[in-house]
């Protein structure tokens, strides 16, 4: 090194900024520091160093060179780059993460006017991936995610960006001259490449994808709005069945806003006393006696009036509000039903409540607190409860039964009926869904279905109840077929507790209540 000029020592074949700066800086003959340079070490490998120096002069003040230090910072720089990469990429799939995606999206948006382009943001979400994870384990889930990432990447052009946002969510930024044509073509390709199975440990697994698309500038011109709108479109794609793509429309946003507002109001509904239970008579066919009621929830919204449970129970289920609401409904029903000591009361249980680990404790607590006799309580569940983890569900059912409570299978025939579970669990009652009753005498098919459900109930020693009986003709058919119990407008609509008390009195005076048995 001795006697060599700095510029020679820091090899000039690496035309880095550092080297160019070195010439400028040393030419100025000032102090310099933190100058990044490249050099080749004795082994011939490229290294990076940091230089600091100050000019030195001879006795007469003439410049004779620099004195200073060179520090090798190669590993520091590499660690820094690594940290940068990690901060911007997803470790599992090696795809860019949301941080990098946002940068790239911002860049794409800035170039729109100059390049006369439009930018499509595609939000992708795998269908039923949670079940893959839950049933096959996270290890398999990770393998699939990596294959998915690879497949998606292979479908893109080099100008497109794909990122993993977390979980099973991916986002693609596509810059193109003619939108939405190119985004639509890309959606088709994506859905297509998911037609082929993923191979994991020798098994073929099918995973679908749903896509929501927002296009700048029409649907928004900043990353936040575009991602939000693509996400809303994705939500819609999922709702319209899986394996679909949807483009954002402004109406989707207002619907979502309305739903959000309703959700907010629902959070307050219990505290503000807006919920109420109504009760609908359950009547035995033999002797036509009033023996029980079904408790049905009602929401009196201060502005919107009465909201049907069909419209707000799904929201309560999505948000988890069904847990406090369901508990409230059970407590209210037990308290109300104390006024009708001869009647059973049936309360609906949501599948979401069923997955809640404190269900049994909650039920026992309400029974203890209200002093309501468990043998007068019936809980209605739907087939969907048994859909995923049937074994776990059957255990919970058994625990409920042990409390002395009866269990009814509601809306029978509308779910993913696998009759197998009727064998593995002794339901006390099956309720034939009212859609079949509505079609009675209209189609031979409905007649046949109702007939066979009744005889199924008979042979398994379960009571069959027909829902939604509105006409004498329906009642006559059900009577002839040997159905035991009916519920429907023919005998009475759901009514507030005070009215039911009057109704019970009427039935009592006409000798048609449960005590007449």
Cβ-in-10-Å burial (0-12, 13-18, 19+) of 218 comes to: middle
Name which of 141 and 326 has its Cβ closer to ligand C2E.
326
Stretch that binds Mg ion, among 404-412, 417-425, 436-444, 449-457 (CB under 5 A): 404-412
Binding site for ligand C2E (CB under 6 A): 280, 296-297, 308-310, 313, 326, 329, 348, 350, 380, 410-411, 434, 467-470, 487-489, 494
Q: Closer CB to ligand C2E, residue 149 or residue 430? A: 430
3-state secondary structure of 393: helix
- CB-CB neighbours of 198 under 10 Å: 19
* Using rule CB under 5 A, residue 127 touches Mg ion: no
Out of 410, 450, 504, 513, the residue judged to bind Mg ion by CB under 5 A: 410
Residues 336 and 345: their CA atoms lie apart, in Å, by 10
Token pair of 509 as six digits: 């005076």
Of the two residues 148 and 297, which places its CB atom closer to ligand C2E in the complex? 297
CB of 295 to Mg ion, least distance (A): 9
Q: Where are the alpha helices (DSSP H) in 270-342?
A: 309-319, 322-337
326 is in the binding site of which of ligand C2E, Mg ion, none (Cβ under 5 to 8 A by kind)?
Answer: ligand C2E
Considering CB distances under 5 to 8 angstroms, the limit depending on partner class, which of Mg ion, ligand C2E, none binds residue 468? ligand C2E
Among ligand C2E, Mg ion, none, partner that 488 touches (CB below 5 to 8 angstroms by kind): ligand C2E
User: How far is residue 37's CA from residue 15's CA, in Å, rounded to a whole number?
Assistant: 10
List Cα–Cα distances, 23 to 51, 61, 152, in angstroms: 12, 22, 47
Q: Which of 125, 231, 380, 513 binds Mg ion (CB under 5 A)?
A: 380
313 binds, among ligand C2E, Mg ion, none (CB under 5 to 8 A by kind): ligand C2E
CB of 349 to ligand C2E, least distance (A): 6
Among 348, 350, 370, 487, contact with Mg ion (rule: CB under 5 A): 348
Considering the complex, what minimum distance in angstroms separates the CB of residue 320 from ligand C2E?
A: 13
Q: Where are the beta strands (DSSP E) in 128-168?
A: 161-166
Question: What's the CA dihedral at 274, 275, 277, 278 to 10 degrees?
Answer: 50
CA separation for the pair 430, 415 (Å, rounded): 13
| Residue 288 DSSP one-character state | -
Min separation Cβ 391 and Mg ion, Å: 24
Output the six-digit token pair for 16: 């880095």
The distance of closest approach from Cβ of residue 347 to Mg ion in the complex, given in angstroms and rounded to an integer, is: 8
Give residue number: closest CB to ligand C2E.
Answer: 488
Do the Cβ atoms of 336 and 279 come closer than 8 Å?
A: yes
Burial of 209 (0-12, 13-18, 19+ CB in 10 A): buried
* Residues at the site binding Mg ion, with contacts judged by CB under 5 A: 348, 380, 410-411, 467
């Amino acid at each position: 090194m001795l006697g060599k000029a700095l510029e020679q020592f820091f090899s000039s074949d690496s035309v880095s900024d550092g080297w160019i700066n070195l010439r400028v800086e040393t030419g100025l003959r000032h102090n310099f520091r933190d100058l990044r340079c490249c050099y080749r070490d004795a082994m011939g490998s490229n290294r990076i160093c940091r230089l600091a120096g100050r000019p030195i002069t001879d006795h007469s003040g003439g410049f004779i060179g620099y004195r200073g230090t060179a520090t090798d910072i190669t590993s520091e720089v590499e660690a820094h780059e690594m940290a940068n990469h990690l901060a911007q990429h997803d470790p599992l799939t090696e795809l860019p993460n949301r941080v990098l995606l946002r940068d790239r999206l911002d860049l794409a948006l800035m170039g729109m006017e100059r390049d006369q382009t439009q930018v499509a943001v595609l939000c992708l979400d795998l269908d039923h991936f949670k079940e893959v994870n839950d049933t096959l384990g996270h290890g398999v889930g990770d393998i699939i995610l990596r294959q998915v990432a690879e497949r998606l990447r292979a479908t893109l052009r080099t100008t497109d960006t794909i990122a993993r946002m977390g979980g099973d969510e991916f986002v693609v930024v596509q810059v193109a001259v003619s939108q939405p044509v190119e985004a639509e073509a890309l959606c088709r390709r994506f859905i297509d490449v998911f037609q082929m199975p993923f191979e994991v440990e020798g098994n073929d697994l099918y995973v679908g994808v749903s896509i929501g698309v927002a296009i700048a500038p029409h649907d928004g011109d900043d990353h936040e709005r575009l991602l939000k709108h693509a996400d809303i479109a994705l939500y819609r794609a999922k709702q319209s069945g899986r394996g679909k793509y949807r483009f954002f429309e402004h109406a989707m946003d207002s619907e979502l806003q309305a739903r959000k507002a309703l959700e907010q109001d629902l959070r307050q509904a219990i505290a503000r006393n807006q919920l109420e239970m109504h009760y609908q008579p359950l009547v035995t066919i033999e002797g036509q006696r009033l023996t029980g009621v079904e408790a049905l929830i009602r929401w009196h919204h201060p502005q919107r009036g009465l909201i049907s449970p069909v419209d707000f129970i799904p929201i309560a289920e999505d948000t988890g509000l069904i847990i406090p609401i369901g508990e409230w409904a059970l407590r209210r029903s037990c308290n109300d039903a104390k006024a009708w000591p001869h009647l059973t009361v049936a309360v609906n249980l949501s599948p979401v409540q069923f997955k809640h680990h404190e269900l049994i404790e909650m039920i026992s607590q309400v029974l203890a607190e209200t002093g309501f006799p468990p043998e007068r309580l019936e809980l209605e569940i739907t087939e969907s409860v048994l859909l995923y983890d049937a074994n776990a569900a059957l255990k919970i059912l058994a625990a409920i039964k042990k409390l002395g409570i009866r269990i009814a299978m509601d809306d029978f025939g509308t779910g993913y009926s696998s009759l197998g579970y009727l064998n593995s669990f002794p339901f006390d009652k099956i309720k034939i869904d009212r859609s079949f009753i509505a079609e009675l005498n209209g189609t031979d098919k409905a007649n046949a279905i109702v007939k066979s459900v009744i005889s199924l109930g008979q042979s398994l020693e379960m009571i069959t109840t027909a829902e939604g009986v509105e006409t004498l003709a329906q009642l006559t058919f059900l009577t002839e077929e040997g159905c035991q119990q009916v519920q429907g407008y023919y005998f009475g609509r759901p009514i507030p507790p005070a009215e039911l008390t009057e109704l019970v009195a009427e039935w009592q005076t006409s000798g048609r209540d449960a005590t007449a048995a």
